Structure 1
């Protein structure tokens, strides 16, 4: 039982690190930049994270009944490449919606996290449930992982102090965002300087 829990926490740790890497990659590729080669690169990054995570949990299989799911890679990659090859606003908008839709459908089919057939209306409902419900459900997972990590490396007194500090940061961040937004709208110079901050890390 302990070995299983350890494996779960190890998987969550790598998923957390991979998600952070994807977040940094998206900021580097998209912030202040037009879509181009950045979009297919981001899709490849998502695929890398997905396959690494699924491989760790031994959830991927190559079988005939999953042939359609694997073949979805072709339209996803081709549609992502259109952002680099073509410059049509309408098609970019349609592809921007189609690529995430197909990616979610493919991951559900590959991991067999569906009950309805892919061509049924119920499958679309399962996709909406996955995107909306599970996103909210697992939002707290990184914080739970951080709490477990801190608790395992600190005594009770230091852990209590760390929890209070993190709680203070969590409470102050929304207030800070509101204040920064108001200052940005009120002062154009301040807004310009604030917009330049991400470029310092590039």
Structure 2
């Protein structure tokens, strides 16, 4: 099944860095009851590179619950993860958005809802990584539903993961088609999803 004709929001994602910035896909994790209030962040993708630290960052998420706001936060990062390492990072609020009330259905009638935000990140969320010869900055972005005491952080993806996500959703005609296919970004040597996406600026 061709993803570009499968659904007006579910577009085929190819490994083309110039085109990927303008494409998003609809997908979900609604197959598991415990995950019904949170889903995916499909833009930006892992280590997506932007022109400057003042660039507008398009943040796109997909959820199965339209009744809870999606909250967005950012933090400093570096080449190996969030900064400072080992859990010392500070997360800054970027705001919250209510998901769209217009459902996007798969062939089984499962509904997904989009929630998006486009804005530049505050300077406090960018960290210049000294491991590079040229000025290189990293930031981390995460999204969640629920309260801060028990947040449901969204899964994130690199380019290969987005291609995996789009392929499997389209192949089965189901938002849950990607589950168990290893599409989401995980910690090295682990099956645990990384609850944020890291982006980059090279000057």
TM-score above 0.5, yes or no: no
Task: Identify the structure with the greater strand proportion.
Answer: 2
Pick the structure with more helix per residue. 1
Question: Normalising by the residue count of structure 2, what TM-score does the alignment of the two structures yield?
Answer: 0.27
